[in-house]
Amino acid sequence: MIRFPWAASAVAVSAAALSAGLAAAQDRAPMAETPAPGAEAPASAIADDGGEAVLLSPIDVDALQPPPAQPRAEIGRAALARTPLRSVGDALADTPGVTAVDDRRNPGVAVEVRGLRDRGRVTTTIDGARQNFQQAGHGSSSLAYVDSNLLRAIEVEKSVTAGVGGAGALAGSVGFRTIEPDDVIPAGDDWGAQGRIGAGDNAYRFDGFAAGAWRPNARVAALLAISRKELGDYAIGEAGRVETSPTSFVPTADPVSQTGSEEVSALAKAVISLTPAADLTLSYLDYRAQFQTSAAGAVDDQDTTNRTATARLDWAPANSIHEVETTLYWNGVENRQDRAPRASYGGFKLDYALDTFGGSISDTMGFETRFGVLELTAGGEAFGDETSTASVAEDPTDDPDDVWFSGANPEGERQVGGLFARAALAPADWLRLRGGLRLDGYRLEGTASVYGWRRGTAGYSDLPVSQSDWRLVPSVGVSVLPARGWEVFADYTEGWRPPTLSESVFGGSHIGFLQPFAPNPGLRPETARMLESGVAFEERALLRDDDRLRVRASVYARDVSDYITSQEVLRRAPGFGDLRYIAYVNIDGTTRFRGAELEAAYSIGRFDLGLGLEALDVNLDGTFDERPWNGRPDPKAVAAAPSSPPSFQASVTAQARLLGDRLTLGGRMRLAGDSTDSLSAYRLDGFMTFDAWASLAITETAAVRLSAVNLTDQAYVDPNGSTAYPAPGRTLALSLEARF
């Protein structure tokens, strides 16, 4: 049974800035260029089909003003559809400071923000519901499962906010928002439908969705949608080669095995206007993916489901200063595996599951004071995780203690929550002040199976683990507006991440009894402190009356105390001497993340240009306590640091709207520096790739799209990827989309 602690979270004010993009505010008449009905007209770096990779919040196109001083990004629905997406993470390629960690053998995605990922360091939500699923293994442990066809936007926060989503986060958040009835129903109608069907080469076999919505009266609207995607084993590029060692490389003749998958999703949503001031949104999303993975020469079948139910109430009375949003949710992720026999042991049937229950409430108020316009936001959030792991062996003697799979994925409960408040004050036309505070708290309980823990016992025994803690998490920021359209800003923010169950209650052993694992009840929460400063500006009529330039540039320094990683540790056991375990430990001192980001967008007439640059330096060197149970520190140098993204990444995007906006032509160049293999730590070469797309409105309600990914067929590995699954080679895709 999940229990929520009395305490919990209050926040740090949303921090400093970054992200740039440009509002290309041309009207779009044909279907291929029209934003989804009911959606906000986005301010975008490249204004594609009504919602390109949106790097800025919507703006008033008639007012000259700098981009908002918060490091956030939004990717609109058209950007999700312009090129074939094997993974939803492919849509994040244009966003500086954000890297999708894709295991091409698994349709899930882990999102890295400014060098931090996994273990809840980046909050992941679907329609406001947290997805906290974790599964121990090689590579990323925190994967989100979501179908890009059913999304209307992806929202990224690159700092911890003093609001919903900040509890337990260290680096920021990624929010997946599903489509709404108004995205499907044309303005002025009471029903609507839309769909897309597409396919391509290089094993991009099928990708399609259909959605229908109905508004029986002015107070109710409902939506049903279904999506399906089928991928096969793709071929890597033939230009260049992917090295696995100084003397070997990945062959290009054969497809990359186990990179295919089949995904099916369904969405049901209803929006009910309870009163003129209150709207209730009920949503249920069901996702299923079937795929295969391989290890030790065997192929395993995997079946993953992700189910999300949410209820959100929005209340904004016309004559009130209050704007309230309340959400209740449940998310359940389950991974079932049919593991084939290996040379040294038989097959297993496995079931990993994590259920998350939670809720949040926030109230935003704005009013005039004697010191200027003041905006206040206050609220709270809480969630609880409950895990379960089951394994059934073909031969019960293989794992008689049931520790190979359930040990690293322990059963237990974890609750996180708290209160938050933030304020923003404009005491003068040239000055903006902001500040926030969170009170975050957590509690976890579980039982670990540990080898040789009891005196005189050579086998496994149970060790109960219980932890709890709380912390105040502050933030503060200031902006100076020296000239019309310009803003210079500086922000200090903090993040605080409690350990997860799979870190504190880690136990059992590696499969095959190769290495025992041990829990660490003394594991401390991670604390991040980030200072960011920069400048943002907007200028118009530089070359012509109808052009616009928007730029945001910033530098940041984030220091993480008590960073958690896995290392080999020692414990003296009477009668056995020193026993060696793998356990999660805190790195002593400070782990440093230093970065700079630049985003710029320029629009002139029917042409748009976008630029994104990022530089990142990560230093995870340090020491840890090699004997965490002895009572006195025994420092040892960290053996190996997790992989980090390339130190430099860039993207350049260009687009033109022709034939009265009926034809859109666009292209993108991506550049990345050297990185390290996420599995072997081998150095990987950087890469440069090119993508292209075109969309043509053949009628007012139908459009055809042609796209090419990796146009020059380069052989390379994704940032934070592995030579075990290099990136796909050139892929051409054709799709037809229609509205009714």
Res. 97: pLDDT tops 80: yes
127 and 144 in contact (C-beta within 8 Å)?
no
| Dihedral-angle region of residue 79 (phi above 0 means left; psi in -120 to 50 means alpha; beta otherwise) | alpha
Q: pLDDT band for position 679 (50/70/90)?
A: low
Which of 350 and 78 is assigned the larger pLDDT? 350
Mean pLDDT of 556-584: 89
Those residues with Cβ within 8 angstroms of residue 258's Cβ, 6 or more apart along the chain or in another chain: 105, 233, 291, 292, 293, 294, 299
Instruction: Scan for tokens 């694992």, then name that residue.
Output: 517
- Lowest pLDDT segment from 80-84, 155-159, 407-411, 435-439: 80-84
Predicted pLDDT at 279: 98
C-alpha span between 202 and 731 (Å, rounded): 6
Q: For residues 209 and 195, is the Cβ–Cβ distance under 8 A?
A: yes
Tracing tokens 């204004």 back to the chain, one arrives at 47
pLDDT at 544: 93
Pair 387, 353: CB distance under 8 Å: yes
Q: Pick the closest to residue 339 from 281, 401, 296, 386 (CA basis).
A: 296
The predicted-structure confidence for 202-233, as pLDDT tens digits, reads as follows 999 999 999 999 999 999 999 999 999 999 99
- Take residue 601 and report the two structure tokens written for it: 């967008």
What's the pLDDT band for 25 if we cut at 50, 70, 90?
Answer: very low
Class of residue 554 by CB neighbours under 10 A (exposed 0-12, middle 13-18, buried 19+): buried
pTM: 0.89
Going by pLDDT thresholds of 50, 70 and 90, the confidence category of residue 45 is very low
Other CB atoms within 10 Å distance of the CB of residue 206 = 14
The whole-number pLDDT of residue 635 equals 87
Say whether domain 31-180+193-207+230-739 belongs to CATH 3.40.190.10: no
- Judged against a pLDDT cut of 70, whether residue 680 lies above it is answered with no
Rounded to the nearest 10 degrees, how much is the dihedral formed by the CA atoms of 54, 57, 59, 61? -10
- Determine the Cα–Cα distance for residues 167 and 418; give it in Å rounded to an integer: 7
- Residue 182 DSSP symbol: H
Q: 614 - beta bridge partners? A: 597, 649
Using one digit for the tens of pLDDT, what is the confidence trace for 690-717?
999 999 999 999 999 999 999 999 999 9
The top-scoring range by mean pLDDT among 20-24, 43-47, 273-277 is 273-277
Helix, strand, or coil here: 522?
coil
Residue whose C-alpha is closest to residue 107's, from 92, 85, 129:
85
Q: Which element (helix H / strand E) includes 502?
A: helix 501-504
- pLDDT tens-place string over residues 592-624: 999 999 999 999 999 999 999 999 999 888 899
Mean pLDDT over 483-511 rounds to 95
Query: Whose CA is closest to 630, among 543, 681, 567, 569?
Result: 569
DSSP state of 80: H
pLDDT (mean) for 461-477: 96
Eight-state DSSP code of residue 92: G
CA–CA separation, 157 vs 143, rounded Å?
Answer: 18
Instruction: Parse the chain into domains and list their residue ranges.
Output: 31-180+193-207+230-739
Q: What is the pLDDT of residue 68?
A: 65
Q: What pLDDT is stored for residue 11 in this prediction? A: 28
Between 479 and 511, the higher pLDDT residue: 479
Do residues 641 and 62 lie in contact, with contact meaning Cβ atoms separated by under 8 Å? no
Q: For residue 7, what pLDDT is reported?
A: 32
Quick one: pLDDT at residue 643? 64
pLDDT over 90 at 664, yes or no: yes
